[in-house]
Structure 1
Amino acid sequence: MIYISHFSIATVTWGPNLQATDAFVDMPRTEADAKSQHFTMISDCSGHQNFLGKRYTNNDELTIMVYDVNGYIAGMQARVPDGLSNGYPGTSLRGHPFIKEGNNWYVTVYFVDPATICTTGRTHAQYVHDGTGTGLFIQNGTDPLKSIRIPHSEVQAKATNWGYGKCLPTMGKHYFHALSLDMSCDHFFPVFLLYNGGNLDAFGWAFKANIQSPRAEHPPNNTIAVVMDPVPRCISISGTLTTMHIFLNSQIQDNLCS
């Protein structure tokens, strides 16, 4: 089914106080804004094999911004250093969806059709009309053009391996990929989805590692069951979980688990 969804923002990190300065932080949605906020370019569209777009970082592992050839937002990345003491990401996640570049493993999502990012890009009029993007695509291999398009409809998501966890107001209904009580954390997919009012309007990172970032959320193990069901035993008994919610629509206060 073809769908069009207009995402209006790119706001990161959940907090209990909607007015907190360290939560619900807006990310730059144009290359010009990224430069003005002292982000620096990692790579551009010129001959890069593993990822699409102009990639910018502000020395934050969780908020690498991706822009199209015209400088409009096209996606986001997070990176996990290679060689962590717990071996994360495990073998099952390496190459799908984590892709190695240098000394880091990257997970990538795109907000527009990947085929357009380094070719036509978006016009200013399209950016004004569509906002942050028109869909959510998870790169799940070394060919970004084969990224997985996520269902916009919650009904459609329920017909896949994405399973409903739990809902928390101002977060939304959490969906995790193929969770089971006895699964290995080597198979714990590092992206989760959030639906509100029946539609996709946010997503997040979830890494079984202690990633340091000013935007990171580190939920205590005894609180994870608030949003995840079932909680895999491997998550309950080992190490730190690093998460970060990324909100794509501006009515966060209306995310009331409907």
Structure 2
Amino acid sequence: RYGKWYTPPRTVQEAERNHYQRKNSVCRTKYYHGFLWQRPDDLLSQPIYDNNGLIVGLQSAIKGRLEGFDSNNNTIRIPSPKTMPPFMVGETIKKDVKLYTLTAYFKHPRLICNPGAQDAKEYKGLYIQMGNDPEKEYMEIPLKLEKLSKEWKKAECVAKMGTHYFMNLSKKLNCEELYPVFLTYTDGKLGAFGWMFQGKPPKNNKFGLDWYYLPPNLYAFTGLQKDYLPACMLNKNFQINGIHIWLRPPSEQLCKKRPIHTPQPCSKTTTTIVQIKIYPHTYYTGTANPPRAPSLTLIFILIISIGLL
């Protein structure tokens, strides 16, 4: 399924034209700040808009009945309490199913609902929500690598994705503590981030967007190498799911050394990358092929490029 195109609405007006529905009538809610819009049954890509009607964030959600593994390969519920936050308890939907959310903002959360911030620039940074009040409870991601804390461990560089960094990743990591946020940097600047978690979420929706999912033999696709992973992550039944969100164009995500993966054009591919690029004054959307992998089933990667830098 090569050649999938998808453009997210950059403004509220575009969201309305594309049949998105607004979920909240007030800007400050007990779950997030901003106006969240959603397509029917789409939990993966839920854009957030400010009082100016401009996209300022993205929320993804999973249902709270997923299963994963702990460090002893015992079955556990996902998300694990060890990953909350940044996983946050969300709303309860039909049949008493609880949602768990991951939320990112592209400018400071206190500006999103502030009516006095009419002239604020669209994109000022990257902030991960870490509590019910995002104006006070957030994690600011450094735009420069030199300011990144040592808790973020360097992994590998993947062509067109950048060098990956994972929180506290080591052979001693308990799998129930696998942090659901990862970052990538190129030339010392933040290039992308993404969500990552255990389990196998159901198919997302009818729009063709879905979580990528990788078994251990395909971890390298996200910059992970087996020589520094805990044994529990090498369990054949262990699986990583998530999305990859670009903040800079993929053409800028280069590897100085030989990357562990170099995407190559392929007329016969069973993988799909969905790219979403949002720039302040224009759009560009397209597709890119990941490397061939004989055992790789359909992978959908949601990518948002926002021209932060």
TM-score, structure 1 as length reference: 0.81
Deviates more, 1:227-236 or 1:97-106: 227-236
Q: Which residue of 2 aligns with 1:52?
A: 33
Q: Is 2:112 the counterpart of 1:117? A: yes
Q: Which residue of 1 aligns with 2:184?
A: 194
Q: Which residue of 1 aligns with 2:53?
A: 71
Alignment length (residue pairs): 231
Q: Which residue of 1 aligns with 2:86?
A: 97
Which aligned pairs between 1:1-258 and structure 2 lie closer than 5 A? 20-22=2-4, 25-58=6-39, 59-86=41-68, 87-94=77-84, 96-101=85-90, 102=92, 103-120=98-115, 123=118, 126-127=120-121, 130=122, 133-145=123-135, 146-157=137-148, 159-211=149-201, 212-213=203-204, 214-226=209-221, 227-229=223-225, 230-237=228-235, 238-249=237-248, 251-258=249-256
Compute the displacement of 1:175 (Å).
0.8
Compute the displacement of 1:120 (Å).
2.9
Distance 1:210 1:150 in 2: 28
For 1:134, give the aligned amino acid. Answer: K
SS at match of 2:212: coil
Distance 2:190 2:25 in 1: 29
Compute the displacement of 1:152 (Å).
0.6
Q: Does the CA-based 8 Å contact 2:67-2:200 persist in structure 1?
A: no
Q: Does the CA-based 8 Å contact 1:45-1:69 persist in structure 2?
A: no
For 2:104, give the aligned amino acid. Answer: V
Root-mean-square deviation (CA), in Å? 2.2
Compute the displacement of 1:88 (Å).
0.2
Compute the displacement of 1:126 (Å).
4.9
Note the residue ranges of structure 2 that are not aligned, 5 or more in a row.
69-76, 93-97, 257-309
Q: Does the CA-based 8 Å contact 1:74-1:117 persist in structure 2?
A: yes
SS at match of 2:183: strand
| Shift in alpha-carbon separation, 1:167–1:26, aligned structure 2, 3 A | farther
Distance 2:200 2:24 in 1: 26
Compute the displacement of 1:110 (Å).
0.6
| Shift in alpha-carbon separation, 1:35–1:57, aligned structure 2, 3 A | same
Compute the displacement of 1:92 (Å).
1.3
SS at match of 1:62: coil
Q: Does the CA-based 8 Å contact 2:51-2:112 persist in structure 1?
A: yes
Note the residue ranges of structure 1 that are not aligned, 5 or more in a row.
1-14
Alpha-carbon displacement from aligned partner over 1:207-228 (angstroms, at most 9, x marks no partner)? 1121233232112321214512
Distance 1:215 1:154 in 2: 30
SS at match of 2:15: helix
Q: Which residue of 1 aligns with 2:259?
A: none
| Shift in alpha-carbon separation, 1:47–1:193, aligned structure 2, 3 A | closer
| Shift in alpha-carbon separation, 1:105–1:139, aligned structure 2, 3 A | same
Distance 2:18 2:170 in 1: 41
Alpha-carbon displacement from aligned partner over 1:102-126 (angstroms, at most 9, x marks no partner)? 2200111110010011113754x65
Identity of aligned residues (%): 29
| Shift in alpha-carbon separation, 1:35–1:49, aligned structure 2, 3 A | same
- Which protein is bigger by CA-based radius of gyration? 2
Q: Which residue of 2 aligns with 1:8?
A: none
For 2:218, give the aligned amino acid. Answer: T
SS at match of 1:224: helix
Alpha-carbon displacement from aligned partner over 1:48-107 (angstroms, at most 9, x marks no partner)? 12210001112322211111122111111111101224400012123x111112220011
Distance 1:220 1:22 in 2: 23
Alpha-carbon displacement from aligned partner over 1:17-65 (angstroms, at most 9, x marks no partner)? xxx5337x43222121222221112224345122100011123222111
Q: Does the CA-based 8 Å contact 1:45-1:118 persist in structure 2?
A: no
| Shift in alpha-carbon separation, 1:252–1:79, aligned structure 2, 3 A | same
